[in-house]
Structure 1
Amino acid sequence: MAVLLASAAIPLGLVGSPRAEAAARTYYVSPGGADGNPGTSPDKPFRTLQKAADSTAPGDTVSIMNGTYTEAPGGSDVLMISRSGRPGAPITYRPYPGHHPVINPVTAWNGIRVSGAAHIVIRDLEIKGNSANISLADAERGASDKNGTYNTNCLSIDKDRKTGDRPHHIDVIGNTVHHCPGVGIGAGYADYVSIDRNHVYANAWYSVFATSGISILSAQDVDRGDPRTYKIRVTDNTVHDNESKVKWGHCNCYSDGNGIIIDTLKDKAKAGGSGPDYQGRVLVANNVTYDNGGSGIHSYKSQHVDMVHNTAYRNGRSTRMNSYGNIYAQESNDVQLLDNVSYSGPNQPVNPNYLNTDVTYDYNVLFGGRPPETKGPHDLFADPKFVAPGTDGTPDFRLAQGSPGVGSGKPLPEVTTDITGARRDAGAADRGAYASNAAKGTVAPTATANGGGPAGDPEEQFAGQGTGPAASGTDSSSGTAGASNSSHGDGDGGDNGKVPGAGKGLAATGANVALPLGLGMVALALGGGIFLVLRRKRS
């Protein structure tokens, strides 16, 4: 994560053996190329992304040239990644310098699918689904778990359904992901995932699998795991206009369409999943979520989650289901919600709190909606005074002069910059995703015209495998939208959110940002005729 350990950066060229570096190649892809070409020069590129992916070895780069890439006739994915990199030598997929290719799944199940691979970087790409050409009436008539057209995921990563190999150390950085009927970016049964600086919007509209903008589902440790160490990170993303408009096939009801969901990291068997509880820690920081159908950000049946310095504005817009909260936790434990700004719509729940244990809310700015069910000693219920809030165009969610969120937050040494990269004041923290000195802009830095993107990838920036402890007695909180067939959090069940004096410290950076290891991001997968989607799993 770009906000952590910047001083520990080590150039990628200093890692790994000279033999491995010398062997690294760049493969070029262009719609005007041919898969019979060698693919190792821009003037003789491959034609298909799949040919390049199937040629890669650790340390290689796939450089994608201008054009629109769609699935082969009858194909399940535009690009399926199954070959792995290794520590210090990831396989990277990115645009050719100066180019802006578009990955455009139309009838496929996935734009990009990562199937059980490890040490993969996907950065600065545009993945554009086909929802703009589908009507709601057509989607409702065609609703089926056998038809990819109405369930296409933009970027999905999951375990290999044949071998059981789980994806890990996957970085998804600076991509623009939009208009896919299914999930925007999803990671299932994965570990060491970084989803950073992406713009994710207008997804999840038509899927029967109850999908969301960004989803972490049923994560599984590939090593021992430690609740004091971050292994999954969702940071610096802008997420909006994701909504479920078609009924979830599991219950014939409407569900989800969240901005960001951390979903079922524990009690997996009770929700129809499998595997032990996830023991790593999850960081959700510096994200802006607005105008999503479900929640802005929430944790459902999860543990070891820190949600800090996020801004959520008028989520829960769907009129098809009971409104979800903005940022909250449900049926979760060991979660912290600190330094967030949450602006709810009229009569919407602010932070439903149901069946939580060891959950801390503090130093948040809460406004609008119903009275909060849980409030920390330093939480403020006041208008945050955004510069130019809204749900259309280019809203500006920076805090204006005189905002109660300026300089009143809890300094968190683990989060030293904001969504734009502006340095946070170490002594007087601003609440929300933006520092008060941030330049105008609502979207985190993403792809550039030459495919360069911002420097400092997780795979490239951080050295060491530190596993230092978090502050003892860490409490945490996570936000989760209730399902139609489970408690919603705004009913009975009591107030289970902990509100101690000042919250606790955050976790250590840990091996998940180690330069030799990189980070993992995973999502959905399609194996044969089986479609698996990163969706809510509930009993």
Structure 2
Amino acid sequence: MSPRNSLSLTVSFLLLVSNVSVAKDYYVATTGNDNFPGTQSQPFRSISCGLRNARQPGDAVILRKGTYPQSRSINLIFSGRPGKLITLRAFPGEEVIIDGRQTPPDTSLINVLAHHVQIQGLTVRNASKNGICLWGPGSRIHDVNVIGNQIQNCQYSSIYAGFNSLEDPVRDLLFENNIVSHCVLMNAGNQHTSWSFGLGAGLSKNITIRNNRVSRCFGEGIGLYLSDKGVIEGNTVSDNFSVNVYLDNTTNTLVSRNLVYSTKDKKFYRFDHPASGIQIANENYRGYSNPSSNNTIIGNILIDNHFAIYSGSYQRGGGLKQTLIAHNTAYGSTGPLLMIDADNGHQQSRIINNIFQQTGRAPLTSIQEPLAQIEFHHNLWYGGTPQQGVRGAGDLLANPLFKNPGGYSMDDYQLRLTSPARNTGVRLDELKPYLGNQKQNTTVNLGAQ
């Protein structure tokens, strides 16, 4: 090889190495200074300064303990890439509070305006609008994780994602292990007029809402509207206003293994009733329509709600379309446990392998014709008489014998060894991934356990 070629290869290699970015950690502390370099020993003072510096995929802004009052929004504008997210997070084991008490009205406290971003381990409180907001087209805002945060006292939602286009919806988001309470405060003193979710999304696609705790919000607890391919699973949702888990104009969505209940705190009652447990409907949105269909409601435990499961025909209606409601446990309610409004739009839906136990004076069911397109069978009914139209093959009228009925934990609704609900369900092959250790058996238990 000639000296010239050798030199050329060396220069090319050096240029290649110089173009490879090295991810950096930038530190922020209440005792820091924005003129510092942002190292652990010399941290920045402001979160915005940290985020201005964290421009390269894999960069992280790490906040040390303390309270960070904000007078304006915190904006995440730089994007990462797969495997190299840009991260805003708390230092491990330290409490970091981001407080929006001093922000102007209608100001979301943290705005995500980029892709491949993660927010983790923060306490976000007193937002004058949303605590964490992801608003924009999916071509710009996607692959965002919001994990392990505590969010409270927001005027609107704790975490909200959305856009105004069904053609380019915000997409591929994960909201996991967050604790949400006392949000949608705008509705607290003016009930029935203003709405938002405690945690949710609209005009979205591929949203996973998993293992969160959402309670005491003056709007729906967890919800999706005008959305597709969502997952709402493993959440604990309680004492929210009107509806605890809501699918509105939402398609191809799984609602699985959620614990949904009311502790009978009347501050969160609407029309003298607690929130409904899981509700499906199609409200009116000017210029938008995505009628609810192909949704699966499986393995949820619903306790002391207004209606445990409700299909509403108000506004646009549309009925249950290709909807499977299976292996749920519904215990007690102030209204019928299973409520289905009259609607000519029902299509190829099934209600199978559930347990419905009523505890008060309310009926087990309030089901209105026509029902020809809804298949009912292998359900257990107790605490009343179900309407004739919902009775089907393999049904049981018997006490399911829960371990500790009336409690507010999943374990309380385990079946006793002598329960008639054991091994009396029909196997549904499409539910194999959700049945745990039952999936190898030829018969399955009724209910969520």
TM-score by length of 2: 0.67
Unpaired runs of 5+ residues, structure 2, are 1-15, 164-169, 188-192, 283-291, 341-349, 359-399
Greater CA radius of gyration, 1 or 2?
2
Partner of 1:247: none
- Residue in structure 2 matching 1:51, options 39, 43, 49: 49
Partner of 1:154: 131
- Residue in structure 1 matching 2:281, options 330, 340, 349: 330
| Native 8 Å contact 2:403 2:415 kept in 1 | no
Partner of 1:197: 177
Question: What is the CA distance between 1:42 and its match in structure 2?
Answer: 1.3
- CA separation of 1:107 and 1:210: change in aligned 2, threshold 3 A: farther
Matches within 5 A, 1:208-223: 210-219=195-204
Which amino acid is 1:364 matched to? N
Partner of 1:37: 36
Once superposed, what is the RMSD of the aligned Cα atoms?
Answer: 3.2
Partner of 2:117: 120
Quick one: distance in 2 between partners of 1:126 and 1:407?
A: 45
Quick one: distance in 2 between partners of 1:172 and 1:430?
A: 35
Partner of 2:10: none
Matches within 5 A, 1:186-335: 186-189=160-163, 190-206=170-186, 210-219=195-204, 231-243=206-218, 257-265=219-227, 278=228, 281-314=229-262, 318-321=268-271, 324-331=275-282, 332-335=292-295
Quick one: distance in 2 between partners of 1:20 and 1:60?
A: 16
Q: Are 1:171 and 2:170 counterparts?
A: no
Partner of 2:77: 82
Partner of 1:302, secondary structure, is strand
- CA separation of 1:431 and 1:379: change in aligned 2, threshold 3 A: closer
TM-score by length of 1: 0.57
Give deviations 1:6-37, integer Å, cap 9, x for gaps. Answer: xxxxxxxxxxx998986000000011111111
Quick one: distance in 2 between partners of 1:348 and 1:286?
A: 20
- Residue in structure 2 matching 1:352, options 298, 311, 324: 311
Partner of 1:32, secondary structure, is coil
Question: What is the CA distance between 1:379 and its match in structure 2?
Answer: 1.4
Higher strand proportion: 2
Quick one: distance in 1 between partners of 2:84 and 2:174?
A: 16
Aligned-pair identity (%):
22
- CA separation of 1:399 and 1:377: change in aligned 2, threshold 3 A: same
| Native 8 Å contact 2:302 2:329 kept in 1 | yes
Quick one: distance in 1 between partners of 2:224 and 2:280?
A: 9
Partner of 1:517: none
Quick one: distance in 1 between partners of 2:48 and 2:296?
A: 41
Which amino acid is 2:324 matched to? T
Partner of 1:182, secondary structure, is coil
Question: What is the CA distance between 1:402 and its match in structure 2?
Answer: 3.5
Quick one: distance in 1 between partners of 2:202 and 2:90?
A: 28
- CA separation of 1:338 and 1:320: change in aligned 2, threshold 3 A: closer
- CA separation of 1:415 and 1:359: change in aligned 2, threshold 3 A: closer
Quick one: distance in 2 between partners of 1:19 and 1:322?
A: 66
Partner of 1:329, secondary structure, is strand
Q: Are 1:183 and 2:196 counterparts?
A: no
Give deviations 1:190-222, integer Å, cap 9, x for gaps. Answer: 1001111111111112258522211111115xx
Partner of 1:399, secondary structure, is helix
Question: What is the CA distance between 1:82 and its match in structure 2?
Answer: 1.1
Partner of 1:24, secondary structure, is coil
Unpaired runs of 5+ residues, structure 1, are 1-16, 131-150, 221-230, 244-256, 266-277, 417-422, 436-539
- CA separation of 1:94 and 1:431: change in aligned 2, threshold 3 A: farther
Quick one: distance in 1 between partners of 2:32 and 2:423?
A: 55
Quick one: distance in 1 between partners of 2:437 and 2:178?
A: 21
